[in-house]
């Protein structure tokens, strides 16, 4: 099938690559010429495991192309995926300007029946806005709108995890399609069914529903996952107070099949491109409709406060004035296997350390270039702080000359370091762990002062017994 993908970010590139991989003829368009140049030269503007190899295969087979030519992209695809950004507006609502601009271009250049697929995360009612915009453009061309000219707007939200997006697309646990129950919708349903048939061979994964419910489903899914994270983070702070171990609690409740273990890990707050903005957008949608989502308001509040927990632990241990102190920071991206720095906990942590006069030696296996770009913007008006932020080439180099280690992202290579070397490099054998990678008892036995999230601080006496 001939497919057009509007937008070459995480969702657009992964969608385009995976659809090309199974044999479709895919045209990826973006207004950012820099991105298109990178893609046409064989590069990938984002880090996503497996994506570059897949794009290389599809490009060699002639099944995928990249361009800034909007007219050609509309003329190419019978199915037009809109996969552009929907950043939060000032009030927290989703900014739809890029979605509606893409829809306007489709109406402006449409040359036949088009299935217009909202792949971007959009609030309830967006499909109606997209339809209205396309209709306006068709009428401006002397055409008579959806029923006569032929198009249908479909909601097909993505459920991709950054760092595992290719696998998620190729082996989906569900495919949600929201579609109108009319003649154009029926035609669109058959086209979408054909497009996704290769993913349904073992068993049917597609869930058909009305468009508004499909739009709502995406926000509801991310809101639920964010709620689980904030719930555990809130409990972890109480665990610190009552001297309980949040890891034991996690295992205790996660063993209940009604609860499960997923997204029950306490940490230093969630980030990324989805959870923060989607929770905000759903809360704002409720407000606009005269309703309050009290639980999600609390989820957002807890997450915001959680990003200060590591700093508070550092200040409690080492004092408010951190001038003359140097901290090694392991992990900058908001999660492993990505270079995404959006809403990353490291940004708040490092800014807070620098504000208190500390020096920071930061390392991430993948996100170094993106982190340097982001912090240059974050600290643009704070030159003296920026001068004390050093990006280093290895996790070992980050330790050199540092007073303590702070772990922010749970990369695999951080899970089993050489603790003997770590102790020898640090001025003080102190670790502040925002991802609970190590066992407090083991750290105490190794002579490391270890502070985690919701886990007891263990001190041993001279005989190796727990005090």
Task: Tell me the residue length of the chain.
Answer: 467
Contact 358, 368 (CB under 8 A): no
C-alpha distance from residue 327 to each of 17, 270, 462 (Å)? 40, 22, 28
Nearest to 137 by CA among 112, 162, 110: 110
102 vs 93, which has greater pLDDT?
A: 102
Percent of the chain with pLDDT over 90: 91
Nearest to 223 by CA among 174, 157, 164: 157
Q: What pLDDT does residue 462 have?
A: 55
Contact 178, 210 (CB under 8 A): yes
Reading the block at residue 371, the tokens are: 């982190």
Binding-site residue ranges for substrate: 159-162, 218, 263-267, 271, 335
Question: Active site residue: 28, 58, 268, 274, which one?
Answer: 274
273 band by pLDDT with thresholds 50, 70 and 90: confident
C-alpha distance from residue 371 to each of 47, 57, 83, 355, 393 (Å)? 13, 30, 24, 18, 13
**pLDDT tens track for 246-271:** 999 999 999 999 999 999 999 999 99
Q: Is the pLDDT of residue 58 over 80?
A: yes
C-alpha distance from residue 319 to each of 13, 240, 313, 380 (Å)? 46, 19, 10, 27
Q: Which residues, including other chains, have CB under 8 Å from residue 366's CB and lie 6 or more apart?
A: 47, 333, 337, 338, 339
Q: What pLDDT does residue 122 have?
A: 93
Can you tell me the distance from the alpha carbon of 88 to that of 300, in angstroms, rounded to the nearest whole number? 14
Our measurement of the distance from residue 214's CA atom to the centroid of its chain's CA atoms, rounded to an integer in Å, reads 20
Helix extents (H) in 77-125? 97-109
Binding-site residue ranges: 30, 35, 86, 121, 159-162, 218, 263-267, 271, 277, 335, 342
Can you tell me the distance from the alpha carbon of 85 to that of 13, in angstroms, rounded to the nearest whole number? 13
Run of H or E including 55: helix 51-60
Q: What pLDDT does residue 460 have?
A: 59
Contact 164, 335 (CB under 8 A): no
Q: Is 274 a catalytic residue?
A: yes
Q: What pLDDT does residue 146 have?
A: 47
Contact 51, 13 (CB under 8 A): yes
**pLDDT tens track for 158-204:** 999 999 999 999 999 999 999 998 899 999 999 999 999 999 988 88
Query: 293 burial class (0-12, 13-18, 19+ CB within 10 angstroms)?
Result: middle
Percent of the chain with pLDDT over 70: 97
Q: How many CB atoms lie within 10 A of CB 262?
A: 9
Domains and their CATH numbers in the chain? 2-209 (3.40.50.720), 220-305 (1.10.1040.10), 307-451 (3.40.50.720)
Our measurement of the distance from residue 65's CA atom to the centroid of its chain's CA atoms, rounded to an integer in Å, reads 26
Q: How many CB atoms lie within 10 A of CB 442?
A: 12
């Amino acid at each position: 099938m001939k497919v057009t993908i509007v937008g070459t970010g995480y969702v657009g590139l992964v969608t385009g690559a995976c659809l090309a991989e199974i044999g479709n003829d895919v045209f990826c368009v973006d207004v950012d010429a820099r991105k298109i140049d990178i893609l046409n030269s064989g590069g990938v503007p984002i880090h996503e495991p497996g994506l570059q190899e897949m794009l290389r295969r599809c490009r060699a087979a002639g099944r995928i192309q990249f361009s800034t030519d909007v007219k050609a992209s509309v003329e190419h695809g019978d199915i037009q995926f809109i996969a552009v950004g929907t950043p939060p507006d000032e009030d927290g609502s989703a900014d739809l300007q890029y979605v509606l601009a893409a829809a306007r271009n489709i109406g402006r250049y449409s040359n036949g029946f088009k299935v217009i697929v909202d792949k971007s995360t959009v609030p309830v009612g967006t499909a109606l806005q997209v339809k209205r915009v396309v209709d306006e453009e068709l009428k401006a061309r002397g055409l008579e709108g959806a029923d006569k000219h032929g198009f249908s707007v479909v909601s097909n939200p993505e459920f991709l995890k950054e760092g595992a997006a290719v696998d998620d697309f190729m082996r989906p646990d569900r495919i949600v399609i929201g579609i109108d129950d009319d003649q154009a919708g029926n035609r669109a349903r058959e086209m979408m069914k054909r497009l996704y048939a290769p993913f349904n061979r073992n068993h049917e994964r597609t869930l058909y529903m009305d468009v508004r419910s499909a739009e709502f489903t995406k926000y509801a899914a991310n809101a639920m996952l964010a709620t689980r994270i904030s719930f555990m983070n809130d409990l972890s702070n109480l665990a610190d107070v009552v001297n309980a171990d949040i890891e034991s609690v996690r295992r205790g409740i996660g063993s209940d099949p009604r609860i499960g273990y997923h997204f029950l890990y306490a940490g230093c707050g969630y980030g990324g491109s989805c959870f923060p903005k989607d929770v905000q957008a759903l809360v704002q949608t409720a407000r606009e409709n005269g309703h309050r989502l009290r639980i999600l308001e609390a989820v957002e509040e807890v997450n915001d406060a959680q990003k200060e927990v590591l700093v508070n632990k550092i200040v409690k241990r080492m004092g408010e004035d951190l001038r003359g102190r140097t901290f090694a920071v392991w992990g900058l991206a908001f999660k492993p296997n990505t270079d995404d720095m959006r809403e990353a906990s490291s940004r708040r942590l490092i800014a807070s350390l620098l504000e208190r006069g500390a020096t920071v030696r930061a390392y991430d296996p993948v996100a170094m270039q993106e982190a340097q770009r982001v912090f240059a913007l974050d600290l643009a008006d704070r030159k003296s702080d920026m001068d004390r932020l050093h990006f280093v080439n290895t996790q070992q180099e980050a330790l050199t000359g540092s007073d303590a280690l702070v772990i922010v992202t749970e990369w695999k290579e951080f899970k089993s370091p050489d603790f003997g070397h770590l102790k020898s490099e640090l001025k003080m054998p102190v670790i502040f762990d925002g991802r609970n990678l190590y066992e407090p008892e083991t750290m105490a036995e190794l002579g490391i002062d270890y502070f985690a999230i919701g886990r007891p601080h263990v001190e041993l006496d001279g005989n190796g017994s727990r005090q």
